[in-house]
Structure 1
């Protein structure tokens, strides 16, 4: 093979290496220029932001998670067990309309858009009842189902402003959901739970101090008696 042929082959090979290098470098540069995302980080799921309550003979009530987070959370617990396929353990047959009492319609909003709607009957015979309509604000298909409501339903709605008689003896969350925390203002003498626990701790420490002093006194007396009997 002549020297000129080898030179041409070397030039062709060098050109191929250069093209391959450029082909690898361009996608890498494009990837660097594009905005990157954290690996494995999924988009944040939307959260409920507001809840509206409507009923006959009352003004509409709106409770937001930002302004009243505790009340919003309490109200959400009265309906969130009915979302999707949840709450199967508390589903019931449709009750008679004459036993339901006053209806309160609750709509849960996500980013100011209505998504879920429920009908609550806190004063129904035999305990609170709840209904999930088949037609929902977000146009998603679901089934119309009746549920046993939480025993705290009437108090949660009343605190929000619904015209419902007070039931201070309500303590349990009922069959529809979990337990409800006892309000702080229901403690004796108007003291909150933190104050009561703090006083209890002080009492325990005081009793412990008294026991320690008595133990030291007994030990001291025993030591004196022992020294005198030698």
Structure 2
């Protein structure tokens, strides 16, 4: 009889432990899935007024790299077949997006084009991926983004509206508030510790119950 009761309690404790651990795994999975992807290593910018390429890297110029990439990372699969007249485009700046040391994408930006900034994505890209050449309306803050990154452009009135690409900050708010990610990490750690404490309490109570029943049966 004592053995049956002991086996039953062990089974109950094991089931409770498995349920708690499954909850912990389910809670941790979304956290891992939501982990941000590593940012590209940087961008190279060439064009009018630059005697040599402007090389920006994430480890030293993270905010500028993010802001420049933000100018081109929203383009759709296809753009307009033709753009403004050459005389209306103004200075051209070629942006090459890097992953590690390897160029992955290239774009031509025209921040001072008449009618608003323009961008052109060539069909020929550094990687083998096939894309369709196309023209796109650029973000209204393109000129200021490039200027603050080091491109010799005249100062423009600061614009926080992103134009056709959407309204966003020139430098994303996440970059300006790194403490938010730290607070989130500590919150996740605190919940994990509470979950582990619950597991220990369940096991302790189960073992205490088994010991108490065995003690009563053996008297």
Specify if TM > 0.5: yes
Moved over 3 A (4+): 44-47, 90-93
> What is the match of residue 102 of structure 2?
113
Structure whose alpha-carbon radius of gyration is higher: 1
Match of 1:118, SS state, is strand
Unaligned 5+ segments in structure 2 are 1-28, 173-219
**Given that residues 46 and 93 in structure 2 are in contact (C-alpha distance below 8 angstroms), is that contact kept between their aligned partners in structure 1?**
yes
TM-aligned CA distance change 1:182 to 1:55, over 3 Å: closer
Q: Does residue 1:62 correspond to 2:51, yes or no? A: no
TM-aligned CA distance change 1:182 to 1:47, over 3 Å: closer
Unaligned 5+ segments in structure 1 are 1-38, 184-230
TM-aligned CA distance change 1:160 to 1:112, over 3 Å: same
CA distance in 2, matches of 1:163, 1:137: 26
CA distance in 2, matches of 1:81, 1:120: 14
String of CA shifts for 1:18-69, please: whole Å, max 9, x gaps.
Answer: xxxxxxxxxxxxxxxxxxxxx9x99x96641110100033131111111111
> What is the match of residue 172 of structure 1?
161
Q: Does residue 1:158 correspond to 2:147, yes or no? A: yes
CA distance in 2, matches of 1:142, 1:176: 19
> What is the match of residue 52 of structure 1?
44
**Given that residues 127 and 151 in structure 1 are in contact (C-alpha distance below 8 angstroms), is that contact kept between their aligned partners in structure 2?**
yes
TM-aligned CA distance change 1:166 to 1:45, over 3 Å: closer
Count residues in correspondence: 140
TM-score, structure 1 length as denominator? 0.54
**Given that residues 171 and 182 in structure 1 are in contact (C-alpha distance below 8 angstroms), is that contact kept between their aligned partners in structure 2?**
no
Q: CA deviation at 1:116?
A: 0.2
Q: CA deviation at 1:180?
A: 1.6
User: Which structure carries more relative contact order (alpha carbon 8 Å, separation 6+)?
Assistant: 2
> What is the match of residue 143 of structure 1?
132
**Given that residues 92 and 148 in structure 1 are in contact (C-alpha distance below 8 angstroms), is that contact kept between their aligned partners in structure 2?**
no
Q: Does residue 1:124 correspond to 2:124, yes or no? A: no
**Given that residues 152 and 173 in structure 1 are in contact (C-alpha distance below 8 angstroms), is that contact kept between their aligned partners in structure 2?**
yes
Q: CA deviation at 1:104?
A: 0.2
> What is the match of residue 66 of structure 2?
73
**Given that residues 39 and 58 in structure 2 are in contact (C-alpha distance below 8 angstroms), is that contact kept between their aligned partners in structure 1?**
no
Q: CA deviation at 1:178?
A: 3.5
